[in-house]
Amino acid sequence: MKKELIVATKNAKKLREIRQILKGLDFKVTSLAEYPDAPRIIENGTTFKQNAAKKALAIARYAKRLTLGEDSGLCVDALDGKPGIYSSRFAGKGKSDLKNNLKLLRLLSGVSPARRKARYVCAVALADEKGLLKVVEGRCSGLIGYEFKGRHGFGYDPLFIIPQYRKTFAQLGPAVKHRISHRFRALKKARLSLATYLRKNS
């Protein structure tokens, strides 16, 4: 029987990406959708790593299962690193990917291409009922475009341009994104720890 790995998220799109990137590891990957009574986690950390660790620890202690906590977001140079840890709720009440993106475009209105540098950041934390096992981070640099392009991905993907491809993540699609993204880079590091955990606990 496969060991369970709970991903501490209710975001189905994020879960799908994580499952695709971790494909090949001998885990049954579940999410909070299968734990409706799980405690609500208040993301009040000041860094991506703090929020990821908080998610992993809270759910691992609740479910007594190996848990992966993830926190990620977009940091834009011209906005002094905003939206950062507030990326998913950037637009405030009634937030959505569309509203978040429209606010970003509004704040960058008139900003030159040279000043539209940005980076996606992803922190991944692993914990079991005994405590925190590992916290890692991955980054991916790019530029913020002037209009929506592409139909893949989620979040700020339609605006986030990878210079070497001259296309957004939403245009490139999962085949390319999952080889270069912030989430791929963080999960690649976490994958080593997951493989070690399997060996020690099989």
Q: Which phi and psi angles does 40 have, rounded to 5°?
A: -75, 130
CB atoms within 10 A of CB 198: 16
Give the CA dihedral 29, 35, 38, 42, nearest 10 degrees: 60
Catalytic annotation, pick one of 37, 71, 77, 80? 71
CA distance 85 to 169: 20
Residue 128 annotated as catalytic = no
Q: Are 176 and 165 in contact (CB under 8 A)?
A: yes
- Looking up tokens 């790593």 gives 49
Beta-ladder partners of 143? 117, 161
CA distance 44 to 68: 18
CA distance 33 to 91: 25
Q: Which of 83, 70, 76 is nearest to 11 (CA)?
A: 70
**Active site members:** 71
